[in-house]
Structure 1
Amino acid sequence: MDLPHARVRSRALGPAGALAALVCAAAALSGCTDSAPEENAAATKAAPRSRQSVVPQAANALEKDYQRVIRAVLPSVVQIRAGSDLGSGVVYDGKGHIVTNAHVVGNDRTFQVTTANSQEVLTARLVYSYPEQDLAVVKLDRVPRGLKAASFADSAKVEVGQIVLAMGSPLGLSSSVTQGIVSATGRTVSEGESEGGTGATIGNMVQTSAAINPGNSGGALADLAGQVVGIPTLAAVDPVLGGSAAPGIGFAIPASLVKTVAGQIVKDGRVTDSGRAALDITGRTFTDAGFQAAGVVVVEVQRGGAAEAAGLRPGDVITRLGDADITTMTSLAEALAARKPGQKTTVTYVRDGQERTAEVTLGEQ
């Protein structure tokens, strides 16, 4: 993944900076001339007034932008209770479909949902869960009056540096909002199953500095245009600090992927076209004589699949896919997440102590 020294964990919940002014020495010297002392004094007095008038105007404009986005998006963000766990969701359409994370719904099939600015508890049922991309759709049994669907952005247009607001129910505090920026795009991240995730490897994720805490999972990451750019899902974990969260490093599933997956679930009741590349093998991480991860050993080859067509067979140890080194099942999943079904690439593997290379046309997961 793109963060080699960090792990990530899911964010579902179980049981104005100060300004400093520098004085320019050159300006101070120019103020010490004998000419026009009154003019210099007037300019000195005028400057602070100018700054005082400009800063509040800019701050007020940004504040109003925040408030406008919150009024536009927050009514589309809900709180979801699955058993004793809490998470968030985003209203997908006016028919009561809500998109959230698969790890939020877990193994439950019925849920309690609370919409923004309401104390009424609504019931919902699972339509379909897709752990491979950590997304799921639930549907309200009764659509309340005024339910508002969110507007989803085009992920290709999301840029680093954009201001974003994360909305959800962190620590059970419904309708909470935090702010940050888009820190990076195109991240490929693997979830940890032991930390509440599905174990999915998800590509093209949006990295953000907006705080993502337990309970934010499944909520909305919105831009200042009032569009959802992603579904907050993970926060980085620093193993050096004993598995505690790494502040300011969170990840959201991109809006375009959310629309693709949720759209198929709403239309067909399941995911019919994953768009995820596959090698069509069953494998496990291979360790060398020094007990170090050194590749993926092929346990089983799917008949008629990509690996079989490329000549791979059980016992082969895959060490590279294209230009990506493969040392574990996770690294193989991350390499595949960056590719598309039907794409041609090379696979490097070891058989009987000899390294070989074959061309493979990737299948679909």
Structure 2
Amino acid sequence: MDVSRARRLLLALTAGACAVALVGGCSSGDAQRAESSTQAAAPAVANELQDDYQAVIKDVLPSVVQIDATNSLGSGIVYDGNGHIVTNAHVVGEEKTFRVTAATGKEPMAARLVATYPEQDLAVIRLNSVPDGLKAATFGDSAKVDMGQIVLAMGSPLGLSGSVTQGIVSATGRTVSEGSEGGGTGATLANMVQTSAAINPGNSGGALVNLDGEVIGIPTLAASDPELGGGSAPGIGFAIPVSMVRTVADQIIKDGKVTDSGRAALDITGRTVLDDAYEPAGVAVVEAPADGAAGKAGIKPGDVITRVGDTDVTTITSLQEALASMKPGDEVTVVYERGGSEAKVQVTLGEI
């Protein structure tokens, strides 16, 4: 436990000590002293939490940048001292060159694309010239991210460089699908961190940070509410976990591309099909190469996949979501229809 957190705990225990004694018969003088102690402790705890926020912002914000492309604006995180910056694939789009501005307001710097990986909505760009004092962010451990942790989202929402919002980790392990409209990659993303910290256009590619000053994720998208006409649902945002960020960024920096995605695939081309009531009813196989996972198991073009493992499959998106929780090499039961009859087969999953 860090020192500031220990102090807050000590203050909370001190404030509560006489509350226990009152139940056992504290005197009125004791009660007055306890009330006074509680009143004094509350602002002290709040002030120390505020100090924690300000210390984290001062430490991390210099590592968060604004990325300007021709048709988009987003955020990024300085990944290392060699000028590599990690961001979202949908921030860089089809662009190859960018202007990068530090949150601390220095002159824009030129950068170029190293590689993009739309399947996980991640990309790495590199500064053409590394400025003195460039500070790489500290990246945390996804295994230690848990519900209720206080987090700060840092980036450039709506072009407001160096903005910070606050919230908590609302959930972990979410699987979400990103729309392809509006510049999205259409990817299905697994193990996402859900947060109540506000995520707005321009926050994408920035930093989700814990109170130890560690980046635990990259804010990527906000939930949309169909009842609001597709507008963002307040307080429901998602960040790519730092474990995936590291996996993808390290491969791109080393090899110029992702060589091991860690993501499972059936190795098919498919399309959603409708039933007689015009409701989604499965994924029709358009192509299934003989050397792919599905092809090796005997699945053929024309088959309609309706279930993978324990998950019903009605659309391409639901198929992607089912596979997102699995790993290459996993053996899974696939249920499909062929010629009006249902069949099932064991498939050893391939890799995207």
Q: What TM-score do you get using the length of structure 1 for normalisation?
A: 0.88
> Does the 8 Å contact 2:93/2:183 carry over to 1?
no
In structure 1, the residue matched to 2:56 is: 69
In structure 1, the residue matched to 2:342 is: 355
- State the distance in 2 between where 1:141 and 1:336 align: 38
Asked whether 1:137 is paired with 2:118, we answer no
In structure 1, the residue matched to 2:163 is: 176
Q: Per the alignment, in what secondary structure is the counterpart of residue 240 of structure 1? A: helix
Q: 1:47, CA displacement in angstroms?
A: 4.4
Matches within 5 A, 1:291-310: 291-310=278-297
- State the distance in 2 between where 1:333 and 1:84 align: 28
Deviations 1:167-215 (A, max 9, x none): 0001111111111111000001100111331000010000000000111
- State the distance in 1 between where 2:230 and 2:350 align: 36
Q: Per the alignment, in what secondary structure is the counterpart of residue 124 of structure 1? A: strand
Which residue identity is paired with 1:356? Answer: A
Asked whether 1:345 is paired with 2:309, we answer no
Q: Per the alignment, in what secondary structure is the counterpart of residue 340 of structure 1? A: coil
Which residue identity is paired with 1:142? Answer: S
Which residue identity is paired with 1:274? Answer: S
In structure 1, the residue matched to 2:66 is: 79
- State the distance in 2 between where 1:49 and 1:223 align: 32
In structure 2, the residue matched to 1:285 is: 272
- State the distance in 1 between where 2:66 and 2:300 align: 48
Asked whether 1:246 is paired with 2:233, we answer yes
- State the distance in 1 between where 2:289 and 2:114 align: 29
Instruction: Give the paired residue count.
Output: 331
Q: 1:68, CA displacement in angstroms?
A: 1.5
Q: 1:157, CA displacement in angstroms?
A: 1.6
In structure 2, the residue matched to 1:13 is: none
> Does the 8 Å contact 1:230/1:252 carry over to 2?
yes
2:189 pairs, out of 176, 180, 202, with 202
In structure 2, the residue matched to 1:217 is: 204
Any gaps of 5 or more consecutive residues in structure 1?
Answer: 1-26, 31-35
Matches within 5 A, 1:35-74: 40=28, 42=29, 45-74=32-61
Q: 1:43, CA displacement in angstroms?
A: 5.1
Q: 1:45, CA displacement in angstroms?
A: 4.4
Q: Per the alignment, in what secondary structure is the counterpart of residue 61 of structure 1? A: helix
Deviations 1:36-56 (A, max 9, x none): 9xx63x456444422221101
- State the distance in 1 between where 2:41 and 2:182 align: 47
Q: Per the alignment, in what secondary structure is the counterpart of residue 78 of structure 1? A: strand
Asked whether 1:95 is paired with 2:89, we answer no
- State the distance in 2 between where 1:308 and 1:135 align: 29
Backbone CA RMSD of aligned residues: 1.7
In structure 1, the residue matched to 2:175 is: 188
Q: Per the alignment, in what secondary structure is the counterpart of residue 291 of structure 1? A: coil
In structure 2, the residue matched to 1:232 is: 219
Q: Per the alignment, in what secondary structure is the counterpart of residue 58 of structure 1? A: helix
Q: 1:154, CA displacement in angstroms?
A: 1.6
Q: Per the alignment, in what secondary structure is the counterpart of residue 136 of structure 1? A: strand
Which residue identity is paired with 1:186? Answer: G
Deviations 1:120-164 (A, max 9, x none): 010000010111100000000011111111111121221111111
Which residue identity is paired with 2:39? Answer: Q
Question: Which of 1 and 2 has higher RCO (CA within 8 Å, sep 6+)?
Answer: 1
Q: What TM-score do you get using the length of structure 2 for normalisation?
A: 0.91
Asked whether 1:331 is paired with 2:318, we answer yes
> Does the 8 Å contact 1:152/1:256 carry over to 2?
no
Q: Between 337-346 and 62-71, report the one with greater CA deviation.
A: 62-71
Any gaps of 5 or more consecutive residues in structure 2?
Answer: 1-18
> Does the 8 Å contact 1:155/1:254 carry over to 2?
yes
Asked whether 1:126 is paired with 2:117, we answer no
- State the distance in 2 between where 1:170 and 1:195 align: 16
In structure 2, the residue matched to 1:156 is: 143
- State the distance in 2 between where 1:49 and 1:173 align: 43
2:246 pairs, out of 231, 243, 259, with 259
- State the distance in 2 between where 1:256 and 1:327 align: 30
Deviations 1:259-307 (A, max 9, x none): 0000000001111111110001100001111110000000011231110
